[in-house]
A and B are shown apart, each in its own frame.
Chain A
């Protein structure tokens, strides 16, 4: 089931002419050439590209962690300037706090809720991401996949409208990564979220995304936006999948196959 963007609804995220330049010594270089992008409410968009294509830069700007050199980001018509609990970021590593238990990590964004409400939400998300039995463990005591589940649960616990994910499964082994993708699809449908996910993995993008935004480097820019009209579960051996896969590799300038 793919959520078709409703043409009557304004897009959730509107990016116009967004650029980012850095100074390195005396040299100025462009991390992000002017970018335009719309993301619909409830859409799962993957930013796909090699290292240095500006995909993480773009994501940090969307989340309000960085200041743009030019252009604008609006979410629900409101200009993004600072991070906000309505749109949360899931980091690749180091996102969750090693000094706090699983339960304390998930409760991070719930400080201003009542005790009972906080408890109820935390327990619900512990169950949702399958961490029952590990609530009191420290991150150092659980596997990489479980840590990433904690990060996801912590993000969802604040009932965000938008979730940004920066290579969330990059540090995991390939089998765990696959099951985490299925998990993410399930949760995404359950919670009706808008997700922007950064990855350099073509298959990750193809298995997850409603739309893949392909980015290329020097300077970082959007090369193409490819809708993925395949039903879930997506079958990697189907001809339609194969065609899209070839197309994406082609756009990235890589020949698939060794």
Chain B
């Protein structure tokens, strides 16, 4: 048991409890920093608790480090960066997500708008969306590999399946929940069919569409890792399984996981920027 880590954990916990007395603005800074410190310290302690000593006859006693500590993961980043692997894999994964997600939006938004707007479209499309939606995108992996082989296309298809359904459903629901006064006003002021779609239905649905895009991109990022673990030989998901399979490099596994998490946060931040556009802000205010 490492004493410095234990002391760090206790001090961090104490600061978190004591921060109650601080002003709110100070708490907003102190709390995230010290919960982070606490998490790393606990990680360190738990990982170290998993270590054990191995004595083989005729050899010096060796320490087997089962789970890596934060201190072991840090150099792993450097290793991944030095041979450029991490950047190649990041780009590979991002390319697949961008393509799969982009295609899902391209098909999903118009289809959802149509299913939501047209009663006939709703009748025809709704039951099949409802039936296909609960199937985990992971379950499509065998079909996808059969169709596309161990290639980019296989991963892209799986991401498409993960992102498509939230987008269609989101767009359709958005149109259906549009206040009737909007379409009545549009008819009253003489807007024609396409103008109605372009200037009323689409902007009215936009905030909810953005929310569904945000959910879909999150799912896409979850799914790409799973797809790369089984259906393809590159990308961050592949990095994670490959590091384990080729020499039990759990430091690289964890480093890969952290990169996946960080990119996920970045993607979400990007979509949330859309919520601030002038023409959709109304849909996100609390009023």
Knowing A140-B281, A140-B282 are in contact, say whether A88-B181 is a contact too (CB < 8 A).
Answer: no
In contact, A85 and B282 (Cβ under 8 angstroms): no
Q: When the two chains form their complex, are residues A89 and B280 in contact, meaning their CB atoms are under 8 A apart?
A: no
Contact bitstring B175-206, A, C-beta under 8 A = 1, else 0: 00001011011111111000100011001101
**Contact A99:B191 (CB < 8 A) given known A91-B185, A93-B181, A94-B181:** no
B83 interface contact, C-beta 8 A: no
Q: How far is B189's CA from A156's CA once the two chains are assembled, in angstroms?
A: 11
A102 smallest CB distance to B (angstroms): 13
Contact B279 A99 (CB under 8 A): yes
Q: Which of B189, B190, B278 has the most CB of A within 10 A?
A: B189
A99 touches B188 (CB 8 A): no
In the assembled complex, the CB of B84 is this many whole angstroms from the nearest CB of chain A, namely 45
Q: Give A44-69 interface residues, CB cut-off 8 Å to B.
A: 63, 65
Query: A94: which B residues are within 8 A, CB to CB?
Result: 179, 181-182
Partner of A108, one of B185, B280, B285: B185
Contact, CB under 8 Å: B182 / A97: yes
CB distance from B181 to the nearest CB of A (A): 4
**Contact assessment for B189 and A91 in the assembled complex, using a CB-CB cutoff below 8 Å:** no
Complex: how many Å from CA A144 to CA B123?
Answer: 39
Contact yes or no, B188 A85, CB < 8 A: yes
| Residue contact B188 to A140, C-beta cutoff 8 Å | no
- Determine the chain B residues whose CB is within 8 A of the CB of A88 once the complex forms: 188-189
Q: State how many angstroms separate the Cβ of A253 from the closest Cβ of chain B.
A: 30
A interface residues, how many (CB within 8 angstroms)? 26
Q: Cβ of A85 and Cβ of B190 under 8 Å apart?
A: yes
- A10 at interface by CB-CB < 8 Å: no
Decide: B181 and A82 in contact? CB cutoff 8 A.
Answer: no
With both beta carbons as reference points, the residue of chain B lying nearest to A101 in the complex is identified as: B278
Contacts of B186 on A, CB cut-off 8 Å?
A: 108
Q: How far is the CA of A225 from the CA of B245 in the complex (A)?
A: 88
Residue count of chain B within 8 Å CB distance of chain A: 25
Q: Give CA–CA (A139, B184) in the complex, Å.
A: 18
Contacts of A95 in B (CB 8 A): 181, 185
Which B residues from 185 to 234 make CB contacts under 8 A with A? 185-191, 195, 199-200, 203-204, 206
B287 at the binding interface (Cβ < 8 Å): yes
Q: For A63, A97, A99, which residue has the most chain B Cβ atoms within 10 angstroms?
A: A99
Q: Is the CB of A99 within 8 A of B204?
A: yes
Interface string of B252-287 (1 = CB under 8 A from A): 000000000000000000000000001111110101
A31 at the interface (CB under 8 A from B): no
Tell me, in angstroms, the Cα distance from A140 to B59 when the chains sit together: 76
Please give me the residue from chain A that is nearest to B282 by CB atom.
A98
CB distance from A220 to the nearest CB of B (A): 20
Given contacts A99-B280, A100-B203, A139-B282, contact A109 B189 (CB under 8 A): yes
Question: A213 contacts the other chain (Cβ, under 8 Å)?
Answer: no
* CB <8 Å contact, B282 and A91: no
| Residues of chain A having any CB pair with chain B under 8 Å | 63, 65, 82-85, 88-89, 91, 93-100, 108-109, 111-112, 138-140, 154, 158
Can you sample 22 A-B contacts with CB below 8 Å? A65-B188, A82-B187, A84-B188, A85-B188, A88-B189, A94-B182, A95-B185, A97-B182, A97-B200, A97-B204, A98-B282, A99-B203, A99-B279, A99-B282, A100-B279, A108-B199, A109-B190, A111-B190, A111-B191, A112-B190, A138-B282, A140-B287
Closest 4 CB pairs of A and B: A109-B189, A98-B282, A99-B203, A83-B188
